[in-house]
Structure 1
Amino acid sequence: MIERKDLGSWMDGAPSEAGHVPGSTWGLPADGPGAVAAAGRRFATLLVDWALASVVSALVFDYESVATLVLFATMNVLLITVFGATPGQFLLRLRVTPVSGRSPMVLRALIRTLLLLLVLPAVIWNRDRQPLHDAVAGTAVVRA
């Protein structure tokens, strides 16, 4: 017979280490500028960026869904490469920063954006509050 203790392990949440500071793997601070951004702020930036792409798509392309997606992807790759942040990230005082590897930022932004468009990598997070698309690209979204 299955007992409660057998089910408790997955119901208790993700495994964590006592005292682990998200981002400490890369030497990022626990709080303040340069600290890993919270999930809520990251989601808000995504909504702002998607809304901006939707408005431009509605004005220029009669809100064609493919055009919206291409605008969103282009905006992400171009603006993260040049400025280190999308309009939504800039508005909410976040930025994308490289944390591992030696790839150029344009390649990081391209990988990050392509995986973000797949959605699933964006919802799988590690203990450092880094979604899979950031982990693969070697980036982290931090407070500016």
Structure 2
Amino acid sequence: MTTVEPAPFGRRFAALLIDWAICLMTAAFYADPRIVAWPPVLVLIVLNTVGIGLFGQTPGMALAAVRCLAIRDGGAIGVVRGLLRAVLLAMLVPAVIMDGDRRGLHDRAAGSVVISKPR
């Protein structure tokens, strides 16, 4: 893949906040997130696995104008690597540990990079 500029942290964080709000609202249909904490996390994992694995973005990423692509070929990362990335993202620590290219440990493990969408 050609060299790409990783998306700024602010856009990535905005996308995560939007996705988290969607997950909280969705999980509230079957469990109270204030009492049972795991349902929104499970929804986040599913949303990220399917959205990023198959389409390269979640709803929050679409609104924040960022995409997650395979570092080697620029395509979608696939469901298996999407699941790995989603589980590591749900653990939060890998996401906040970034390298000089603004790739978190979850991106490095999945072989992905989050980039700004062209205007």
Please tell me the TM-score bracket, short chain as reference.
0.7 to 0.9
CA distance in 1, matches of 2:37, 2:93: 20
1:126-137 paired onto structure 2 within 5 Å: 126-137=99-110
2:70–2:111 contact (8 Å) kept in structure 1: yes
Q: CA deviation at 1:94?
A: 0.8
Q: Provide the C-alpha distance between the structure 2 equivalents of 1:28 and 1:92, rounded to a whole number of angstroms.
A: 21
For normalisation by structure 1, the TM-score amounts to 0.72
Q: Work out the percentage of aligned pairs sharing the same amino acid.
A: 36
4+ residue runs over 3 A deviation: none
> 1:80, 1:28 → 2: CA distance?
20
Ranges in structure 1 where 5+ consecutive residues have no aligned partner:
1-25, 30-34
3-state secondary structure, aligned to 2:28? helix
Q: What TM-score, normalized to structure 2?
A: 0.85
Matches within 5 A, 1:77-88: 77-88=49-60
Larger Rg: 1
1:61 deviation in Å? 2.3
Matches within 5 A, 1:47-86: 47-63=17-33, 64-86=36-58
Number of aligned residue pairs: give it: 113
Cα distance in 2, alignment partners of residues 128 and 56 from structure 1: 33
**Alpha-carbon distance in 2 for matches of 1:138, 1:117:** 17
RMSD over aligned CA atoms reads 1.9
